[in-house]
Amino acid sequence: MSGGKIGKHVNIQRTIDLTRFVSGAKGGGGGAGGGGYQYRLTSMVIHLGGSQHGGHYTAVAEASNGAMFEFDDASVSVCVRERERE
């Protein structure tokens, strides 16, 4: 499969409930803390470039105090959430 770069904005949720995708799972059990299969996004890797064969990678991660940081080669900067910019 080949294609061009997707230029569409993607909204990323900070939490996701995967209970409905787990065979035999019922809401309220099985996950961390007994709350189903709910997860919280704490980091992600971002690829910037025209194809999977080249480009640049950065990462965003949450610190223990809740602040978000972007890691880009030798630099680290505080992320400003999109909602805070508006």
52 and 83 fall within a common domain: yes
- Based on DSSP, count helices (H) and strands (E) in the chain, helices before strands: 1, 6
Question: How far is residue 78's CA from residue 68's CA, in Å, rounded to a whole number?
Answer: 6
Does the structure show a pLDDT above 80 at 4?
no
The per-residue pLDDT of the chain, averaged, comes to 79
47 and 85 fall within a common domain: yes
- Is 4 domain-assigned? no
- Is 74 domain-assigned? yes
Does the structure show a pLDDT above 90 at 19?
no
Question: How far is residue 57's CA from residue 67's CA, in Å, rounded to a whole number?
Answer: 21
Q: Which domain holds residue 21?
A: 11-41
Does the structure show a pLDDT above 50 at 85?
no
- Is 18 domain-assigned? yes
46 and 78 fall within a common domain: yes
Does the structure show a pLDDT above 70 at 13?
yes
37 and 51 fall within a common domain: no
